[in-house]
Structure 1
Amino acid sequence: MAHQYTKKLIQDTFIKMLNERPLKRITVKDLTIACDLNRNAFYYYYADIYELLSEIFRTELQAVIDEYNQTLSWEKSFMVATKLALNNKTALYHVYDSMQREELTSYIFNTSGNIMEKYVEHESEQLEALNQDKQLITSFYQCALTGMVLHWIETGMKEDPEQVIKRVGYLFDGNIQASLLRSSHSPRI
C-alpha cells in the first residue's frame, strides 16, 4: 500500500511540475524535494525521469483499454485518452516540445491501435473476415486516429475532442462493419 502511495505521489507531482516547466528543467532532485522524499525512494521505482514518463503513458493506456472493455465503444475509449491531454495541456506541450516527443507519439499510436484492434475484433466476431484484412483495417484506423490527434495537438487543441470524436463516429459508422463483411465474402487465398 505504501508503495502504491509513493508511486502515485511521484507521478502526480511530476505531472504537476510538467504543467509548470519544460521536461528538460525537471530533475530527480527537484521532484524528490517536491515530494518530500529522498532520491533513493525515487530510484527504487524509476531509473530516471524518462522511465517515469513512460510508466505514466502505460498507465493511461491501460485506463483506455479498461474503458473499452467496459463500454465496447472506441469513441468513449478515445475520449478517456484525450482527458489526460485536456487536463494537462501545458504538460502535454512540454513533452511534445521535448526530445520525448517520440514517447508521446508512441503512446498515441499504441492507444489508437489498442482501441481499434479490440473494436475490429469485437465487430468481426460473427463474421469470417480474413485476419490479414482485420489487421489492415485496424492499421488504417490506427494511423488515421493518430494523425488526427497529432494534428489536434499541433494546432493548439482548440477543437473539443468529444465533438470531433462523435462526428467521426457518426460519419464513419458502419464502414468497419462493411469492410469486415466484404472480407468475409471475399475469395480465400
Structure 2
Amino acid sequence: MPNKDAKELIRKKFIEMLNQMPLKKITVKDIVSECNINRNTFYYHYSDVYDLLSEIFQIEFQNATKDYNKSLSWEEVFLAAVKFSLENKKAIYHIYYSIQREELERYIYNVAGHAMSQYVENKNKDINALEMDKEIIVSFYQCALTTMVIQWISNGMKEDPVVIIGRIGRLFNGHIEESLIRSANDRIY
C-alpha cells in the first residue's frame, strides 16, 4: 500500500474508532488490526496515537483555512471551520475527556482565530482600522467562540451549534464593523 494511502487509511480508521470508544482505549495494535497493516507501517508514519491525533487536527485546520470564502458571514466561516467537530461529535467528546484535551482546545482556538481574522480583514478593507485594534477584536471573538465551543462540548453537545452560532450572530450583528469604524475614527484624532 503506498504511503499516502496507508496514512489516509490509518487516519480514517482511527477517527471511526474514536467515534466508538474513548481515546485511552485505542491502541496502536487496535489501529493496525483495523487497517490490516503491520505495526511498522504505523510507526513509519506516526510515533504514537497522540502523534496521529495531532496530525488529524493539523489536517482539519488546513482544510478549514483553505475553504474560507470572503462572501461568507463570520458565522458561516466558523461553522465551516468546525465541520470536522460537528461530523465527529463522539470523537470530539472522547478527546475532550482524555489527556489530549489541550490538543482539542488548541485546534478550536486556532480555527476560531483564523475564522475571525479572515472575517475582520475582509470587513476592514475599506475601513482602515488600527492594526492593534483589529488584533484586539479578533482575539476577543476568538476567545469567546473558543469558550462557547468548549462549554458546548462539556455540556454534552446537545444543542444545535448552527442555532447557537446563528443566534450569537443575530445578537451581535454589526458589532465587529462598528468596532472597526470606531478604531478608524480614533486614527483621525
TM-score by length of 2: 0.92
Aligned to 1:175: 175
* Contact 1:32-1:42 at 8 Å conserved across structures: yes
The reply to whether residue 37 of structure 1 matches residue 26 of structure 2 is no
Aligned to 1:137: 137
1:71-82 matches, within 5 Å, as 71-82=71-82
1:76-115 matches, within 5 Å, as 76-115=76-115
* Contact 2:116-2:141 at 8 Å conserved across structures: yes
Distance 2:115 2:97 in 1: 26
- Code of the aligned partner of 2:179: S
Distance 1:187 1:77 in 2: 29
Moved more, 44-53 or 139-148: 44-53
Across the aligned residues of Structure 1 and Structure 2, the Cα RMSD in angstroms comes to: 1.8
TM-score by length of 1: 0.92
Secondary structure of the 2:127 match is coil
Distance 1:70 1:175 in 2: 18
* Contact 1:82-1:161 at 8 Å conserved across structures: no
* Contact 2:74-2:119 at 8 Å conserved across structures: yes
Moved more, 66-75 or 49-58: 66-75
Q: What CA deviation, in whole Å up to 9, does each residue of 1:124-181 have, x standing for no partner?
A: 1112211100000000000010011011111111111111112211221211111001
Distance 2:78 2:42 in 1: 31
Secondary structure of the 2:156 match is coil
* Contact 1:68-1:76 at 8 Å conserved across structures: no
- Code of the aligned partner of 2:149: V
Distance 1:20 1:87 in 2: 13
Distance 1:92 1:6 in 2: 23
Distance 1:159 1:74 in 2: 20
- Code of the aligned partner of 2:157: M
Count of aligned residue pairs for this structure pair = 189
- Code of the aligned partner of 1:104: L
Q: Which runs of 4+ in 1 moved over 4 A?
A: none
Moved more, 99-108 or 52-61: 52-61
* Contact 1:65-1:77 at 8 Å conserved across structures: no
- Code of the aligned partner of 1:111: V
Q: CA deviation at 1:17?
A: 1.1
